[in-house]
A and B are shown apart, each in its own frame.
Chain A
Amino acid sequence: MNIISRFKLSAVLALVGVFVFSSCRKDKEAEPYVQVTSGVFVLNEGGWGANNASLSYFDFGSGAVTANIYSSANPQIGTLGDLAQDMHVYGSKMYIVVGGSEIVEVVDKNSIKSIKTIEMDGTSPKNITSANGKIFISAQDDKVYVIDTVSLNIQKSIPVGKEPAHMAVVGNKLYVTNSGEYNHPTYDNTISVIDLTTLTELTKFTVDINMSHIEADQYGDLYVVSRGRSYGTEPLVNSKLYVINSTTGSIKKVFDFEITSLTIHNDIAYTYTFSYISGEKSYRVLDVKNETVISQSLITDGTASTIQTPYGIGVDPVSGDVYIADAKDYVNAGKVFAYDKTGKQKYSFTAGPLPSGFSFVVK
Chain B
Amino acid sequence: MSNMPLFEVFVRSKRGLDHTHCGSLHAENAEQALEYARDVYTRRSEGVSIWVVKASDVTASQESDRDSFYDPMDDKPYRHATHYVLPDEVNNM
Do A and B interact? no
Residue numbers of B with Cβ under 8 A of A are none
